[in-house]
Structure 1
Amino acid sequence: MDTGLKNRIAVITGAADGIGRSTALAFAREGAHLGLLDINAAGLESLAAEARELGVSVHAAQADLSTAEGVSRGMQAVQSSFGNRLDVLVNNVGAGAIRTFDDLTDAAWDATLGLNFMSYVRAIRCALPILREHGGVIINNASDLARQPEPVPIDYSVSKAAVLSLTKALARAEGPRIRVNAVAPGPTWTPFWTKPGGFAETMGRYHKMEPRAAVEHEMKLRQLPLQRLGTPDEVANVIVFLASDLASFVTSAVWGVDGGSIRSMI
Structure 2
Amino acid sequence: MESGLSGKKVIITGAANGIGRATALAFAKEGAIVGLLDIDAKGLDEVAGRVRQHDGAAITAEADLSTANGVDGGMSELLEALDGHVDILVNNVGAGAVRSFDDVDDDAWQSTLSLNFMSYVRAIRKALPILRENGGVIINNASDLARQPEPVPVDYSVSKAAILALTKALARAEAPKIRVNAVAPGPIWSPFWDKPGGFAETMGKYHKMEPHAAVEHEMKLRQLPLQRLGTPEEVANVVVFLASDLASYVTSSVWGVDGGSVRSIV
Q: Fold-level match, TM-score > 0.5?
A: yes
Count how many residue pairs are aligned between Structure 1 and Structure 2. 266
Percent of paired sites with the same residue: 73
| Cα distance between partner residues in 2 of 1:56 and 1:190 | 24
> TM-score, with normalisation over the residues of structure 1?
1.00
| Cα distance between partner residues in 2 of 1:162 and 1:81 | 31
Give the deviation of 1:216 after TM superposition.
0.3
Please give the secondary structure, in 2, of the residue aligned with 1:236.
helix
Please give the secondary structure, in 1, of the residue aligned with 2:89.
strand
Give the deviation of 1:141 after TM superposition.
0.1
Q: Which residue matches 1:180?
A: 180
The 5-angstrom pairing of residues 1-266 of structure 1 reads 1-266=1-266
> Which ranges of 4 or more aligned residues in structure 1 deviate by more than 2 Å?
none
Give the deviation of 1:56 after TM superposition.
2.3
- Any idea what the Cα deviations from partners look like across 1:69-123, whole Å, max 9, x if unmatched? 0000000001110101100000000000001000011000000000000000000
Q: Which amino acid aligns with 1:263?
A: R
Segments of 5+ residues of structure 1 without an aligned counterpart are: none
- Any idea what the Cα deviations from partners look like across 1:117-168, whole Å, max 9, x if unmatched? 0000000000001000000000000000000000000000000000000000
Moved more, 51-60 or 242-251: 51-60
- Any idea what the Cα deviations from partners look like across 1:15-43, whole Å, max 9, x if unmatched? 00000000000000000001000000000
Segments of 5+ residues of structure 2 without an aligned counterpart are: none
> TM-score, with normalisation over the residues of structure 2?
1.00
CA RMSD of aligned residues (A): 0.4
Give the deviation of 1:241 after TM superposition.
0.1
Give the deviation of 1:240 after TM superposition.
0.1
Q: Which amino acid aligns with 1:198?
A: G
- Any idea what the Cα deviations from partners look like across 1:165-204, whole Å, max 9, x if unmatched? 0000000000000000000000000000000000000000
| Cα distance between partner residues in 1 of 2:238 and 2:264 | 21
Give the deviation of 1:52 after TM superposition.
1.2
Please give the secondary structure, in 2, of the residue aligned with 1:35.
strand
Give the deviation of 1:54 after TM superposition.
2.0
Please give the secondary structure, in 1, of the residue aligned with 2:5.
coil
Please give the secondary structure, in 2, of the residue aligned with 1:93.
coil
